[in-house]
Structure 1
């Protein structure tokens, strides 16, 4: 698979997550370093980086740590579950599909919030261009 190991600093730079956040995700069981160096440093692989990117993308959409764990479990089992029955594969796919729907719904809500925020910023900019004592 991927035998190239990276230390946590490189992983943090690649995932745009802080060292503290990566350690927190390790403590909560969302991601586990694939290895440790002789000096005890955490060592990560591309697979670990991919997991962290999934987590980073789920967080702003409001998914809980348990939901993140559940989705990662489902995708891990789909990706590496040679012994998964057809029935289990269908159930796992349904779980992933439910997360996709939830993510899409949250993206739609965020688009509305962003549009409102942009309208507000534009209102303020208009007010500032009009000068003091005017109403927007």
Structure 2
């Protein structure tokens, strides 16, 4: 199928493991758009974009359920035919995810600062070696 990629290329492009991609397929989070005659997963650019959204959510500790719900909300917001009620619910969920992402980023920045302070403390206590 033209314009598709096999799982190895998608893994390389997304920095997700093949095992993770297979898991996302098995739980219905991101199902490849097609299969080859031999049964190999075939992904499109749209599939890769969805996987990149998930990859960005992973370090922020979003659950698989939240990831799936966000992908659905983004689909609704990208659909010009979606009704106003669905669009409002999708917008509300995207806003909730945005707030959670901001909070989690702040926590990660604080943890990084602690880690850098600790590394500096250890560096300061290393014995000086002479050449």
Q: TM-score, normalised by structure 1?
A: 0.89
Structure 1 portions without partners, runs of 5+: 132-136
Structure 2 portions without partners, runs of 5+: none
Alignment RMSD: 1.3
Structure 1 residue 94, shift from structure 2 partner? 1.3
In 1, the alpha carbon distance for the partners of 2:63 and 2:100 equals 12
Structure 1 residue 34, shift from structure 2 partner? 0.4
Is 1:103 matched up with 2:71? no
Q: Deviations over 1:27-85 (max 9, x none)?
A: 111100100111111000001001111111111101000010110110011112x3322
Structure 1 residue 10, shift from structure 2 partner? 0.4
5 Å-filtered alignment, 1:1-136, equals 4-80=3-79, 82-129=80-127
Aligned residues: 128
Q: Deviations over 1:96-132 (max 9, x none)?
A: 011001000000000000000000000000000457x
SS in 1 for 2:78: helix
Q: Could you tell me whether the CA contact under 8 Å between 2:76 and 2:86 is conserved in 1?
A: no
SS in 1 for 2:16: coil
Structure 1 residue 88, shift from structure 2 partner? 2.4
SS in 1 for 2:42: strand
Which 4+ stretches in 1 moved above 4 angstroms?
Answer: none
